[in-house]
Amino acid sequence: MTPSGRHVVLGVSGGIASYKSCTLARRLTEAGAAVDVVMTAGAAAFVGPVTFEALTGRPVLTSLWDRGRALAHVSLARDPDLVIVAPATANLLARAAHGLADDHLTALLLARTGPVLAAPAMNGAMYDHPATRDNLATLTARGWRMVGPDTGPLAEGPSERPGRMSEPETIFAEAIRLLRAPNSALSGRHVLVTAGPTREPLDPIRVLTNRSSGRMGYALAAAAWTRGAEVVLLSGPTTLEPPYGPMLEHIETTDELRRAVAAHLPRADLLVMAAAPADFRPANTAGRKRARGEGTPAIEVVPTPDILEETRKRRKRGCKVIGFAYESARGTQRAREKLEAKDLDLIVVNYTGDPESGAEVETNRVTLVPRTGSPRKLPVLLKTEVAERVLDAAEELL
């Protein structure tokens, strides 16, 4: 999920939210993008240009009359991969919608023919005003993409109406999607990802579950969304922050996961089964919590359905399927057996007993076993990096 080597223009207009744009500039730069910041006079009253220069390592443009930069608004409109306007104030949106070009940023936007991502930020009443709504509609019709605004505290205090600029991480995620989607085989595809454990109730308090954290599935869903896919994430109980972008649906038990997969599977072009559903559930669930003094209970368990196996008859034509397996010895051989038995296109093997791999850690050491071709052993990587490697393989399949 990186814009490394990409050229991005960050336009900053004069709103209090311009301080957030410093974080966005740093985030883009750290991710490897070349970031040129263009500021309005109003923005410079809130944040000094030297701040952005320090964060990006590049000179900041503030005026059409900067010596030696007379045509910079033309080149910066034509050359960059993406132009971001954050914050996009009501005034900036109005001037852009009406084709004004009275400063460097509006002149650049008037000459721009490539993608523009804008993050509106203003008072809630200003955002609701028909003039602003008309301007937003005009710019959207011209191809601009809007992110936000959110509801929350504004400069004048709490607000129940939208107007607050989206957070830098949200804008960053939308920017990555715009940069990556045009070159991705996942763009426009429907992707279904499962993540996390399931919990099978013993009684109203106790459950049978496993150590899965959900990190791998969440990373896969987030990365697929940045590649332009429409992503549904079916998640068991986790403590993770929901990833921005995918549609998140919570499930608790293996049977709930089974029904959710069946409901979403007919649209899926890619199914990624990264969840760790329980293999067994209690044969009977007690209606009340059993007290310790009542003696040691005998817990009878029965197998849960094999959800991945059941998808074989429900997959649409052309749907590619990626499974995950926890293995110890003979991992690759057993993975191939599962791949054939469950009609998978790729299986990702995690190894048990590895402190740097598997559940409850942020790294993974996996082997990608395709239907045809040789297995690919990956080194220890962050799960976000493993997700990218798995989706690279998925794009090859598609």
Nearest to 326 by CA among 335, 317, 318: 335
Nearest to 374 by CA among 334, 346, 342, 354: 346
Out of 91, 135, 210, 364, which one is annotated catalytic?
Answer: 210
Whole-structure pTM value: 0.88
Fold classification of 184-285+296-397 is: Rossmann fold (3.40.50)
Which single residue is written with the structure tokens 């991969």? 81
Check: CB of residue 387 under 8 Å from CB of residue 378.
Answer: no
pLDDT digit string (tens) for the chain, length 398 residues: 466 789 999 999 999 999 999 999 999 999 999 999 999 999 999 999 999 999 999 999 987 777 666 656 677 778 899 999 999 999 999 999 999 999 999 999 999 999 999 999 999 989 999 999 999 999 999 999 999 898 887 777 777 788 899 999 999 999 999 999 999 999 999 999 999 999 999 888 888 888 888 999 999 999 999 999 999 999 999 999 999 999 999 999 999 999 999 999 999 999 999 998 988 888 888 778 878 778 787 888 888 899 998 999 889 999 999 999 887 656 677 888 888 889 999 999 987 777 777 677 788 889 999 988 888 999 989 999 999 999 999 999 98
Query: What gap in Å lies between CA 241 and CA 137, rounded to an integer?
Result: 32
Three-state SS string across 47-108, please?
CCHHHHHHHHCCCCECCCCCCCCCCHHHHHHHCCCEEEEEEECHHHHHHHHCCCCCCHHHHH
Number of alpha carbons in the 13 Å side-chain half-sphere of residue 64: 10
Fold classification of 7-181 is: Rossmann fold (3.40.50)
DSSP H or E stretch at residue 38: strand 34-39
User: 3-state class of 161 per DSSP?
Assistant: coil
Query: What gap in Å lies between CA 118 and CA 146, rounded to an integer?
Result: 5
Both tokens of residue 44?
């410079």
Query: What gap in Å lies between CA 167 and CA 20, rounded to an integer?
Result: 7
Q: Which residues of the chain form CATH 3.40.50.1950?
A: 7-181
Query: What gap in Å lies between CA 257 and CA 306, rounded to an integer?
Result: 11
Check: CB of residue 120 under 8 Å from CB of residue 88.
Answer: yes
Q: Which residues of the chain form CATH 3.40.50.10300?
A: 184-285+296-397
Which long-range CB contacts under 8 A does 29-32 form with residues at least 24 apart? 29/55, 29/56, 29/57, 31/2, 31/3, 31/4, 31/172, 32/2, 32/3, 32/4, 32/5, 32/6
Instruction: For residue 210, indicate whether it is catalytic.
Output: yes
Residues in the chain: 398
